[in-house]
Amino acid sequence: MHDLLIRNAVIALPGGTLLEGDLACTQGRITAIASQITGDGREEIDAEGKLLMPGVIDPQVHFREPGGTDKEDLASGSRAAVRGGVTSFLEMPNCNPATIDQEQMDWKISRGRATSVANFGFFIGATVDNLESLNNVHPACGIKIFMGSSTGSLLVNEEKDLDRIFGNGERLIAVHAEDETRIRERTAQLLGDEETRDYAIHSLIRDAQTALIATERALHLSGKYGRRLHILHLSTAEEVARLRAGKADQVTCEVLPNHLFLNTDDYAVLGSRVQMNPPIRDPQNAEALWAGLHDGVIDIVATDHAPHLLADKEKAYPRSPSGMPGVETSLPLMMTAMREGRCTLTQILRWMCSGPAELYKIANKGKLIEGFDADLALIDIDGYKPVRDEEVFSRTGWSPFSGRSLTGWPTHTIVGGRVVFENGNVRPGVFGQPLSFGS
Ligand code: DOR
């Protein structure tokens, strides 16, 4: 008897082959994939020809616990994740208190175990004086450095501090690459002490050079020490061109749907809802980012799900906070792009499932293979449904993509062989596990 048997699915096998058939899970693992599986399941799902794929691994989210749980917590953020077919997430350390030592990491892991309905991992945040923790706290998926200020208090922008962090230890360093000096200079020049409701100024202040300068610095330090570097949320054509000209083996990078599907024209309608760091850009940047994905300069897709309440977003700039929710819309946005011919299913599986698993050395995830963990998304790629603020699972209750009609919504999301999301509802009693990261 199988624990779970999914019948009549179109199964996305590694390499892009599609198999019409069944998939069985037992004790949290995929135990069989075949055109017809005999025997019964304790639970059976008739997939009715829907696409069965590995659950998405979202390698950059902010779920605000502890310190900002009016906006999100591990329970609400993970529920939003599974609604969008995301079965594992890596969360950033800019909570309050920030995740900068073992005590905080232990606390987060225990909260995750108790409340997260998806699998979870956490970054350790760099400060100017926690070098010891950066390399010794476990389990951490990597070190996060905010080279430019963003939400929260984490910031390391002095050369000597960055040099010390890059020069000590082996762990992957993930950078938010924006140059703090330029942010401060341009804020003083373009805004001074004023406030404004013209939120487009955000993209002018944190311009392409702001991103490029920091990206160059991080690449230089990675090269100097041979240090494993991951550049988070690439947003500009300039960065893509720089990386295309030379990207060492130890360097990887990512892009967000925000920078692929939004641009500076959106400020006119959405105002501060689309204010984020690094900012949304002129439309030609999105084209360059797509090209970077296609030619392999960009390795993976993340969301940078950054929940903020609309009441805060409504404040005048610069008091309006940066960031927007996204964990529950990334897969439908990418599947809709696939249906429009912008990319293939094989590429999506690489960018959102197997790619993040390999990059963060998460074993047994990201592919539908017998013996791999049964983290799955069963999705409808025929029907279209609009994003609606009222239906958003994130505690923030809004999406920058509201009103867009998307396909690729999951009907079922399965974590560790157990159905956790089904036809719009989260089942009680199913929880994720802490992820492990190879060295
Ligand atoms: O816009 C952003 N918001 N960028 C970040 O780097 C942080 C995030 C947040 O936590 O709000």
- Same-domain check for residues 249 and 140: yes
Domain contains 24 = yes
Q: Is 265 a catalytic residue?
A: no
- Same-domain check for residues 229 and 297: yes
- Same-domain check for residues 153 and 224: yes
pLDDT of residue 439: 78
Domain end (from 359, 392, 418): 359
- Same-domain check for residues 383 and 345: no
- Same-domain check for residues 76 and 47: no
- Same-domain check for residues 297 and 378: no
Q: Which of 58, 73, 101, 304 is catalytic?
A: 304
Which residue among 99, 123, 305, 322 has the greatest number of ligand 1 atoms within 8 angstroms of its CB, and so is best to mutate? 322
- Same-domain check for residues 201 and 66: yes
Domain contains 433 = no
Please list the rounded mean pLDDT of every run of 10 residues in the chain (439 residues).
98 94 98 97 97 98 98 98 99 98 98 98 98 97 97 96 98 98 98 98 98 98 98 98 97 98 98 98 98 98 98 98 98 98 98 98 98 98 97 98 98 98 97 95
Domain contains 438 = no
Domain contains 137 = yes
- Same-domain check for residues 319 and 381: no
Domain end (from 335, 359, 383): 359
Domain contains 264 = yes
Domain end (from 333, 359, 385): 359
Which atom of ligand 1 is nearest to 275's Cα? Answer: 1
- Same-domain check for residues 63 and 20: no
pLDDT of residue 153: 93
What's the 3-state SS for the chain? CEEEEEEEEEEECHHHCEEEEEEEEECCEEEEEECCCCCCEEEEEECCCCEEEECEEEEEECCCCCCCCCCCCHHHHHHHHHHCCEEEEEECCCCCCCCCCHHHHHHHHHHHHHHCCCEEEEEEECCCCCHHHHHHCCCEEEEEEECCCCCCCCCCCCHHHHHHHHHCCCCCEEEECCCHHHHHHHHHHHCCCCCECCCCHHHHHCCHHHHHHHHHHHHHHHHHHCCCEEECCCCCHHHHHHHHHCCCCCEEEEECHHHHHCCHHHHHHHHHHHCCCCCCCCHHHHHHHHHHHHCCCCCEECCCECCCCHHHHCCCECCCCCCCCCCCCHHHHHHHHHHCCCCCHHHHHHHHHHHHHHHCCCCCCCCCCCCCECCEEEEECCCCEECCHHHCCCCCCCCCCCCCEECCEEEEEEECCEEEEECCEECCCCCCCECCCCC
- Same-domain check for residues 171 and 249: yes
pLDDT of residue 361: 98
pLDDT of residue 111: 98
pTM of the model: 0.98
Domain contains 46 = yes
pLDDT of residue 15: 84
Domain contains 166 = yes
Domain count, the chain: 2
Which residue among 205, 231, 277, 305 has the greatest number of ligand 1 atoms within 8 angstroms of its CB, and so is best to mutate? 277
Within 6 A (CB) of ligand 1 lie 62, 94, 150-151, 176, 276-277, 304, 306, 322-323
CATH number of the CATH domain containing 246: 3.20.20.140
- Same-domain check for residues 209 and 304: yes
pLDDT of residue 134: 97
- Same-domain check for residues 48 and 90: no
Domain contains 155 = yes
CATH number of the CATH domain containing 18: 2.30.40.10
Domain that holds residue 410: 2-52+369-426
